[in-house]
Structure 1
Amino acid sequence: MSLNLEQSTENIADPLDLVEACLESAGWEHQRDEDAAIQCIAQSRWGEMGALFAARREPPALHFTLTLDLKPTAARQQAISKLVLMANERLWLGHFDYWIEDSVLLFRHTLPLLDRDEAEPGEIRAVLAAATDAVNMFVPAFNFVIWAGKSPEEAIDAALFETDGEA
């Protein structure tokens, strides 16, 4: 059985038009470039972070990447890689990547657009929310590993610690 991913590209709407509308509605600063991409600024609890939506024709997809403003050291690469795996186990949508050669931490998600011209607005809003929630939740854990020398287990436990009641 073969899988046919071909789709006619005639009269296909630009999926980035809807992305722009969703970014405006969410209040994210953004700018469209000539390469079928939109660069934007994500507001998180830990500050502004650069993000990118890119459209692809073959196979049709809409890709989102958010770059975490962290600078892992070479000495902590193995610990960061383990923490990425541990964090990803807890995510329902999207995932973290650690590009060792570039020493960059990312949150990524791709929406396939087979047999349709664009994503649904709810899908785009879900990606924005998932990215923001993941960054808000796990940036402290990454910082604990990078700057405090904590183990991935200690870092994830500290980042996910929740109190009951009020003080």
Structure 2
Amino acid sequence: MITDEYEFAHDDFGPLEMLEQYFSAHGWTHERQSDDEVIAHFQGSWAQYELRAIWREEDNVLQFLALPDIRVSPDRHAVLYETLGLINEQLWIGHFEMWSTSGIVLFRHAVLLDDDSETALSLIQAGTVVEAAIDECERFYPVFQFVLWANKKPSEAIAAALIETIGEA
């Protein structure tokens, strides 16, 4: 793991290069899809996640997506939309959505960056972008399981999945 950001602070890394450094430091497989997109894979507690970062240079926006390998059949779209609405009310950064054509559930957020290369995206910021997405996916994955596979009502699923435990077993 990289603990000293200084070695990267003065290099002319763009946002995707900085994310690649973060992925490499954690030993995660990743590959460039194009000049403006990188994809990584991360094994979470609940699922294998595909992490996608897309850089829109003309707008200085880094869009980050985490796909937790959940596909929703068309007959479950309505209940999932209700679930997404309740979950998104609780989020400060980013949101969950479902692509209607494929039924893929994902978490998405974006970062507006300064166009100055020295302040575009630090290694610490790269980590924050990635960890925020993973943390929310891990936190809400059980809600999706309860709704989609156990046929729980969205409000019941959220209440059951977000119970805070105290101590260890």
Which of 156, 159, 162 does residue 160 from structure 1 map onto? 162
Superposition pairs for residues 60-79 of structure 1, below 5 Å?
60-79=60-79
Q: CA RMSD in A?
A: 1.8
- On the 8 A contact 1:61/1:112 being kept in 2, the answer is yes
Unaligned runs of 5+ in 2: 1-11
Q: Which residue of 2 aligns with 1:93?
A: 93
Alpha-carbon distance in structure 2 between the residues aligned to 1:156 and 1:142: 9
TM-score under structure 1 normalisation? 0.84
**SS of aligned partner of 2:76:** helix
Q: Which residue of 1 aligns with 2:6?
A: none
Assess, with a 3 A threshold, how the Cα gap between structure 1 residues 23 and 165 changes in structure 2: closer, same or farther: closer
Alpha-carbon distance in structure 2 between the residues aligned to 1:22 and 1:67: 18
Unaligned runs of 5+ in 1: 1-11
Which of 121, 128, 133 does residue 131 from structure 1 map onto? 133
The sequence identity of aligned pairs, in percent, is 35
**Is residue 50 of structure 1 aligned with residue 50 of structure 2?**
yes
Aligned-pair distance for 1:125? 0.7
Superposition pairs for residues 137-148 of structure 1, below 5 Å?
137-148=139-150
Equivalent AA in structure 2 for residue 162 of structure 1: E
Alpha-carbon distance in structure 1 between the residues aligned to 2:13 and 2:168: 51
Equivalent AA in structure 2 for residue 78 of structure 1: A
Alpha-carbon distance in structure 1 between the residues aligned to 2:33 and 2:74: 33
Q: Which residue of 1 aligns with 2:25?
A: 25
- On the 8 A contact 1:43/1:132 being kept in 2, the answer is no
Aligned-pair distance for 1:126? 1.0
Aligned-pair distance for 1:59? 0.8
Could you report, residue by residue, the CA deviation over 1:118-155 in whole angstroms, capped at 9, with x for unpaired residues?
22222211121111111111111101111111111011
- On the 8 A contact 2:63/2:108 being kept in 1, the answer is yes
Aligned-pair distance for 1:114? 3.7
Aligned-pair distance for 1:17? 1.3
Alpha-carbon distance in structure 2 between the residues aligned to 1:115 and 1:129: 23
Assess, with a 3 A threshold, how the Cα gap between structure 1 residues 35 and 132 changes in structure 2: closer, same or farther: same
Q: Which residue of 2 aligns with 1:5?
A: none
- On the 8 A contact 2:71/2:102 being kept in 1, the answer is no
**SS of aligned partner of 1:62:** strand
Alpha-carbon distance in structure 1 between the residues aligned to 2:71 and 2:33: 27
Q: How many residues align?
A: 156
Alpha-carbon distance in structure 2 between the residues aligned to 1:78 and 1:112: 32
TM-score under structure 2 normalisation? 0.83
